[in-house]
Amino acid sequence: MLRHIKKLRLKSRMAKNKQQHLPRLTDEESAQTPLSSSLLHNEEALRTIYANCWDVVFRSFWIAQKERALLIYIEGLSHAEEINQNVLAPLMEATDLQITTIDDLTDKTISVAGTSKVHTYTDIVEHISLGEPVLMMNGHKAGLALGLENWEKRSIEEPEAEHVVRGPRDGFVEALQVNTASLRHRLKSPRLKMEALKVGDYTKTDVVLTFIEEIADKNLLEEARNRIKRIKIDSILESGDIEELIEDHPFSPFPQVLDTERTDVATSYLLEGHVVIIVDGSPSVLIAPTTFYSMMQSAEDYYQRFLIGTAVRWLRYIFLFIALLLPSLYVAILTYHHEMVPTQLMISIAAAREPIPFPALVEAFVMEIIFEVLREAGLRLPKQIGPAVSIVGGLIIGEAAVQAGIVSAPMVIVVALTGISSFAIPRYSAGIAIRMLRFPLLILAGGLGLLGVILGIIAIIVHLCALRSFGVPYLTPIAPMEFRDIKDVLIRAPKWKLTTRPRLSGKANTYRASPHQQPGPHRGRDSS
C-alpha cells in the first residue's frame, strides 16, 4: 500500500514538471493564430477560452434565415438594448440580403457607428474584454467588433484631495475614454497626441501617453515611451503601479512623478511641454517630468491675483520648514541649547516639563506617532465619523496625556503646529515625504543638537540635488539656475509676464504668449 502511494506521488510530480515545461505561446505567437472559416470551429475555440465564464454570452442566430452567425459579448460590459435593436433585429428580420464579405453587414444592415474587423482570437478577446461585442459568420475568416460597450462610470466631480475656492470643479474619473475626452474638451487642437499602450499580461491595462506635438521635447517622449514599454508585469491596477516602475530613484522618499486628478492641472502641464500618462481604471494621471517646486504649487495660485498667489506660495514654504524642522529644533534647543531661549520662556517650559519622566526626544517621538496614528485613522474611517474621531481623539488624548504627566503642554503645541503646517503642502505625496523625514531629524537633534539638525538639512539638500525626474534636475530652475524660469517658482508672476515655457520641458517651443501685454488705462489707445 505504501509503495502504491509513493508511485502515485511520483507520477503526480512528473505530471506537474511536464506541465511546467510545456511550451507557452507568447502574445506575439498567439496573435498570429487566424480565425477559421468554420464558425463551429471558432465557437469551440472561444468556448474553450471562456470556459467557466458564466457572464460571457454566446448568441447563435440566422442572418436572413440562411447564414448562420454568432454574437459574443460580456453581460454588463455591452449595451444589451443596442445589440437587440441595431444588430440582432435587423439581421434576423432581413429578407433580401446578399453578403459577400463581412463588411457588407455594416454597409447595408448594422447601424453601429464604431466597427472594426478582427482576424485572430487575440483580437476577439481584447475587444470582448473592452465590452465590444464580436460578430462572426460561417464561411468568413474575419469577425466584426461592434462599438457597443456600456459599463457603469462614476460621474465627473471635483477631486476631494485638490479642492479650490476659485477654479474648475471637474476632475478625472476611472474611465479612460472620459478622461481623454476631458483633455480634448480643454485642448481643442489636433496637435494634442495620444499614444495607446497596453501593460500587464492579465489586466491588459490601457495606458495613454499624452503630449502636445511641437511643444513636448522628442527626447522626453522617447524616454517616457521606452520606460512604459519595458514594463513586464502581470497586472496594472492603478497609476501608482506605473509611477513606481518608471521613476528615476525608487529609494527616494520624494515623488519624482507628479499625480493629479484635476483636468486643468494636467492641461497646464501639457502646455508647458510635459507628458501626461493616463491609466485606465485610475482617476489620477501622472505628469513627467516634475520638480520639487511643482509639489508646492496649487491650481488656485493661477486663478487668484498674482500678488495673493505669491503671498500664499511663500506661506507654503514657511509651513514646509515648520512641518520639517519644528519638532527637531524644539528637541535640540531644549536638550543642548538652553541659552537660545528667553529666560522667562525657559522657566515656563521647565515648569511644564518638571513632572515629565521622559527626555524631550522620547516625548516628541511619542506625540508624533500618536498624531500620525490619529491622522491615518481619520483617513481610513468612514467620512461621517472620520473627522470627528480624529478631532475628538486628538483633544482627549492630548489633554489626558498632559494631565497624566506623560507629555508636556509645550510639546503638544509643537506637534499640533507641525501637523497643521504639513496640511498646507498641496501635494499629498510630498507631504508624506516631509512627515517621514521628521523622524530621522528628531534622532539627529536628540543626539547632536543643532549640529545634527544642520547635518540632516545638508543631507536632504544634497539628496534633492542628486535627484532627477526623467533626466530633469529635481531642483531646477534654482539648481541649476535658470533666471528665466524663476518667475514661476518663488513667486507667481502675472500672466502677462509668463511669456515663455520652462526651458527643460518646453524648449521645443519656447514662447507661449506675446510680450508687452501688461494691462493698464494707457494700453490699447491709438498713438494719435
CA 401/CA 362 separation, integer angstroms: 14
136 and 204 share a domain? Answer: no
381 and 259 share a domain? Answer: no
219 and 337 share a domain? Answer: no
442 and 321 share a domain? Answer: yes
Burial of 447 (0-12, 13-18, 19+ CB in 10 A): middle
Give the pLDDT of residue 400. Answer: 81
Give the pLDDT of residue 22. Answer: 35
Domain that holds residue 122: 27-146
Q: Which three cell numbers stand for residue 104?
A: 457588407
CA 83/CA 132 separation, integer angstroms: 10
Q: Are the C-beta atoms of residues 178 and 259 closer than 8 Å to each other?
A: no
Q: Which three cell numbers stand for residue 504?
A: 527643460
Q: Which of 473, 488, 518 represents a domain boundary (last residue)?
A: 473
Residue 188 lies in a domain: yes
Give the pLDDT of residue 523. Answer: 58
Residue 480 lies in a domain: no
DSSP 474: T
Residue 492 lies in a domain: no
Beta strands in 406-501 (DSSP E): 468-469, 472-473
92 and 121 share a domain? Answer: yes
Q: Are the C-beta atoms of residues 193 and 213 closer than 8 Å to each other?
A: yes
CA 154/CA 174 separation, integer angstroms: 7
69 and 193 share a domain? Answer: no
User: How wide is the angle at C-alpha 405 spanned by C-alphas 408 and 440, nearest 5°?
Assistant: 50
Q: Which of 473, 490, 513 represents a domain boundary (last residue)?
A: 473
Q: What is the pTM of this model?
A: 0.85
323 and 467 share a domain? Answer: yes
Torsion, Cα of 29, 34, 40, 44 (10° steps): 10
306 and 416 share a domain? Answer: yes
306 and 427 share a domain? Answer: yes
312 and 377 share a domain? Answer: yes
3-class SS shares of the chain: helix, strand, coil, % to 5: 50, 15, 40
Residue 504 lies in a domain: no
Q: Which of 290, 322, 357 represents a domain boundary (last residue)?
A: 290
286 and 317 share a domain? Answer: no
Residue 96 lies in a domain: yes
Q: Quote the number of domains for the chain.
A: 3
Q: Are the C-beta atoms of residues 61 and 69 closer than 8 Å to each other?
A: yes
Give the pLDDT of residue 323. Answer: 94
Cell match 498632559: residue? 402
Give the pLDDT of residue 24. Answer: 39
Residue 449 lies in a domain: yes
313 and 440 share a domain? Answer: yes
Q: Are the C-beta atoms of residues 172 and 284 closer than 8 Å to each other?
A: yes
Cell match 471562456: residue? 50
Three-state SS string over 286-326 comes to EEECCCCHHHHCCHHHHCCCHHHHHHHHHHHHHHHHHHHHH
Mean pLDDT by 10 residues, the chain (528 residues): 50 46 40 82 92 92 88 91 89 80 80 86 90 91 90 84 88 92 93 94 92 92 95 94 94 95 95 94 94 91 91 93 94 90 89 88 89 82 71 74 85 90 90 93 94 96 95 90 84 87 76 83 55
